[in-house]
Amino acid sequence: MNIKTDWSLQEIKEIHDLPLLKLVLQAQEVHSLHFKLGEVQMSSLISIKTGGCPEDCGYCPQAARYHTDIKKHPLMQKEEVLSLSRKAKDKGASRICLGAAWREVRDGEDFDKVLEIVKAVSEEGVQVCCTLGMLSENQAQRLKAAGLSAYNHNIDTSEAYYDKVIKTRNFDDRINTIQKARDAGLSVCSGGILGLGESIDDRIKMLQTLSSLSPHPESVPINTLVPVKGTPLEKNDSVAIEELVRAIATARILMPQSFIRLSAGRLERSVSEQALCFLAGANSIFTGDTLLTTPNPTEDTDDKMFRTLGLTKMAVHV
Ligand code: SAM
Ligand code: DTB
Ligand code: SF4
């Protein structure tokens, strides 16, 4: 099937602004051509290095310059990461995402340790994704050789709105890193955050950038801002559920074969609100009691939701 990578802003806007139920129905039709209805990929986050980041991302509790109440720690030992990833796998996770509060990867002891961690976790029979900030092509290749499946690097918002939220790097830096991961043969995970103060137009532009990456990112996380005390965006309004559903459904229609991940922000959504997101084409979530530093629904809560909605957990396919 021909996958379109040249969606125009006008086309995207027309999809995004359809009457909500029509939009959800269309997204569901596209979804069912490529995925099994109700099957959800479970991805679990492990923050392998927490806090103290030199960047100024306005949403992020891990930026050193904001005074937030998080438990910082240096790079975790391999054994600890392995133990956490085994627990997550036992609870049904088929993908583990390792996150580090770095601006960029630096060659040296810590990166060597990350490579060992990636190798060890991937030998457990789960997909491994890393999100470590900017990286060089050689570093991307070394991660790939260590067994990494995917690299996460979010574009977060539109190019035009980017410098309203982040000033210590620019949008092109993000695109370049994504390209390096791609060139090294890694799958790409890239998405954004709703609720940064952006307009609907910014969301449409962000979706256009993502859907013009060729090939499309294999995973597209759609986060809603988790407002954290001490960050510049702590007082932002929460995103209305219908706006989240519109973004998910549009992403599903534009990128029919990608995993669309209902990411940060699930804690504030009811089961029926999340059901709407799954109907709109979301087929992946982050599981586990914490995201990187903020709370997420507990495993029991999610298990109950899976039973209520008749969802199934996707098996590992590495
Ligand atoms: N430092 C690396 C980077 O920025 O690429 C990797 C870790 S960073 C925490 C990963 C992603 O988490 C960010 O790109 C952003 O999309 C998301 N994120 C961070 N704080 C968030 C928040 N408060 N609410 C929603 N998403 C958030
Ligand atoms: C993504 O898009 N969202 C995840 C993961 N990829 C790395 C991170 C969400 C972080 C939410 C804030 C926190 O817990 O620190
Ligand atoms: Fe650092 Fe990533 Fe947080 Fe930005 S989002 S402050 S780069 S950890």
Tokens matching residue 311: 């969802």
For ligand 3, whether the C-beta of 297 sits within 6 Å is no
Ligand 3, atom 2, residue with closest C-alpha: 101
Cβ-contact 273, 239 below 8 angstroms: no
Query: Could you tell me the distance, in angstroms and rounded to a whole number, from the CA of residue 60 to the centre of ligand 1?
Result: 6
* Ligand 3 center from residue 278 Cα (angstroms): 28
Distance 318 CA to ligand 2 centre (A): 22
75 DSSP 8-state letter: S
Per-residue pLDDT of 260-285, as tens digits, reads 999 999 999 999 999 999 999 999 99
pTM of the model: 0.98
Residue 178 domain-assigned (yes or no):
yes
Q: How many folded domains does the chain comprise?
A: 1
Which CA distances in Å does 101 have to 22, 54, 306?
A: 40, 9, 31
CATH number at 78 reads 3.20.20.70
Asked, for residue 1, whether it belongs to a domain, the answer is no
Nearest ligand to the C-alpha of residue 57? 3
Closest ligand, as measured to the CA of 193: 1
Domain contains 188 = yes
Ligand nearest to the CA of 224: 1
Q: Is 92 in the pocket of ligand 2 (CB under 6 A)?
A: no
Q: Does residue 187 lie in a domain region?
A: yes
Contact 94, 314 (CB under 8 A): yes
Specify if 261 maps to a domain. Answer: yes
Does 232 fall in a domain? yes
| Residues labelled as active-site residues | 53, 57, 60, 97, 129, 189, 261
The residue type of 177 is T
Closest by CA to 291, choosing from 37, 70, 94, is: 70
Assigned token pair, 92: 């049904």
**Distance between Cα 62 and ligand 1 center (Å):** 9
Which stretches of the chain score pLDDT less than 70? 1, 317-318
Contact 94, 284 (CB under 8 A): no
Which residues form the domain of 254?
A: 9-313
Evaluate: CB of 227 within 6 angstroms of ligand 2: no
**Position 221 in a domain:** yes
Instruction: Say what the pLDDT of residue 22 is.
Output: 98
Residue whose CB lies within 8 A of the most ligand 3 atoms, among 103, 157, 168, 293, for a mutation test = 103
User: Is any ligand 1 atom within 6 A of the Cβ of residue 102?
Assistant: yes
Q: Is position 168 within any domain?
A: yes
Distance from Cα 53 to the centre of ligand 3, integer Å:
6
pLDDT at 294: 98
pLDDT tens by residue, 118-142: 999 999 999 999 999 999 999 999 9
| Test site for ligand 1: of 53, 129, 131, most ligand atoms within 8 A of the Cβ | 131
- Whole-angstrom Cα distance, residue 93 to residue 111? 25
